[in-house]
């Protein structure tokens, strides 16, 4: 048994079945301890503030005060690593994305029916997510650097000039825990004629489309969930669909997306390594690969292959990461050309584009 102190978890969920099932699950793991639970944030608030759990497991849609309002209050006063447990409804999904933007570490998608069975079959994933969250450092994002785009209306207006018409050199980016906020910060800082970007963010199925829609509404560039056969083009970011792998291929002087099924890689689907390894074959030294905040090692081996092929490689620095796992693994493999704070990543993309 580990000598480390157990991770203290507090659960806020209006479902008694969820609270009871989670209590049994946590009792069976020596690394986790259930500090307590509450059916709504109004009851939980004073207890959480007094006991300061290591991780908060929070439902979104609850009577009295919703989980999102509670999360924003907690993050403003005493940031606690928080995992959101949200239903797969459209409303629940949108609120979960708002929670990620407000500082939540991860989202677990739960069905409306069969909750007890779902929690039992997802036991390993849920417990690992809580352990990962306990090592995170939730905080406000750093201010963005000077790569902010000018305020122009978004439109599919054609870009002119030889540079715009030339074959784009692709930018591929991977992230996990804390990545939804980090990716938003990077894309917000890019002008709408930036190079095309292909992104893998570890996220449950059905959430990625809503995440892409959210980013598209916020950013100067266009953002959408990738489909099989999408062309990588300037001013467009493509987000890998949850539950699928995303690869790149080159044909007719252009780069295109390939959406595939298959088993998880590094326990993830989509996997950053799958995207990066496909980029080695079709782009090689012409690519820019970026690893942002995240737990684990997904993307490190693919980045090493890209680095050895001559591609430009960047990792987010520890100080600006929510979880310095994936970047650290890539750095330890000597796969990284430059380690940058999150606030400098957008400028690095634009510098790469100018050199291209």
Indicate if 162-355 has the same CATH topology as 7-134: yes
% of the chain at pLDDT higher than 90 = 71
Question: Of the ranges 181-195, 200-214, 284-298, which one carries the lowest mean pLDDT score?
Answer: 200-214
Strands ordered across the beta sheet of 288-291: 222-225, 236-239, 197-201, 171-175, 288-291, 312-316, 338-340
Q: How far is 238 from 96, CA to CA, in rounded Å?
A: 21
Predicted pLDDT at 232:
97
pLDDT tens digits for range 169-189: 999 999 999 999 999 999 999
Q: How far apart are the C-alpha atoms of 172 and 152, rounded to whole Å?
A: 25
Is CATH 3.30.420.10 correct for 7-134?
no
The mean pLDDT value for 28-42 works out to 95
Per-residue pLDDT for 147 more than 60? Answer: no
Across the strands, what pairs with 23? none
86 DSSP β-pair partners: 109
Alpha-carbon dihedral 205, 68, 29, 137, rounded to 10 degrees: 90
Which one of 59, 202, 268, 286 is the catalytic residue? 202
Q: How confident is the model over 317-335, as pLDDT tens digits? A: 999 999 999 999 999 999 9
Answer yes or no: 66 catalytic.
Answer: no
Was domain 162-355 assigned CATH 3.40.50.180? Answer: yes
Spacing of C-alpha 339 from chain mean position:
19
Looking at 18-27, 39-48, 52-61, 196-205, which range is the least confident one? 18-27
**Across 9-23, average pLDDT:** 92
147 touches 346 (CB < 8 A): yes
- What's the pLDDT score for residue 121? 78
Q: Which of 54, 273, 298, 317 is catalytic?
A: 298
- 307 has catalytic annotation: no
- 271 belongs to the catalytic site: no
Active-site residue identified among 176, 278, 343, 344: 176
Domain boundaries, the chain: 7-134, 162-355
Record the pTM.
0.87
């Amino acid at each position: 048994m580990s000598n480390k102190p157990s991770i203290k978890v507090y659960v806020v969920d209006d479902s008694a079945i969820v609270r009871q099932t989670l209590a049994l699950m946590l009792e069976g793991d020596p690394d986790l301890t259930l500090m307590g639970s509450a059916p709504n944030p109004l009851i939980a608030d004073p207890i959480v503030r007094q006991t300061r759990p290591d991780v908060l497991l929070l439902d979104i849609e609850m009577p009295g005060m919703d989980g999102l309002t509670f999360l924003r209050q907690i993050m403003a006063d005493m940031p606690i690593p928080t995992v959101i447990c949200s239903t797969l409804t459209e409303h629940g999904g949108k609120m979960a994305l708002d929670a990620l933007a407000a500082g939540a570490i991860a989202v677990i998608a739960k069905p409306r029916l069969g909750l007890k069975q779902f929690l039992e079959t997802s036991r390993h994933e849920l417990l690992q997510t809580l352990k990962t969250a306990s090592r995170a450092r939730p905080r406000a994002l750093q201010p963005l650097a000077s790569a902010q785009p000018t305020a122009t209306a978004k439109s599919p207006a054609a870009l002119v000039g030889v540079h715009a018409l030339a074959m784009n050199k692709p930018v591929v980016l991977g992230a996990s825990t804390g990545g939804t906020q980090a990716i938003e910060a990077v894309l917000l800082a890019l002008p709408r004629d930036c190079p095309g970007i292909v992104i893998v963010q570890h996220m449950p199925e059905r959430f990625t489309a809503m995440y892409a829609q959210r980013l598209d509404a916020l950013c100067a560039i266009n953002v959408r969930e990738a489909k099989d056969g999408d062309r990588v083009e300037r001013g467009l970011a493509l987000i890998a669909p949850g539950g699928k792998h995303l690869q790149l291929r080159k044909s007719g002087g252009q780069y295109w997306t390939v959406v595939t099924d298959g088993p998880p890689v590094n326990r993830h689907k989509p996997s950053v390594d799958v995207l990066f390894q496909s980029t080695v074959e079709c782009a090689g030294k012409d690519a820019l690969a970026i690893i942002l905040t995240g737990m684990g090692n997904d993307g490190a081996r693919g980045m090493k292959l890209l680095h050895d092929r001559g591609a430009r490689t960047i990792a987010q620095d520890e100080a600006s990461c929510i979880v310095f796992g994936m970047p650290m693994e890539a750095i330890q493999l000597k796969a990284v050309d430059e380690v940058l704070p999150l606030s400098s990543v957008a400028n690095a993309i634009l510098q790469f584009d100018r050199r291209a």
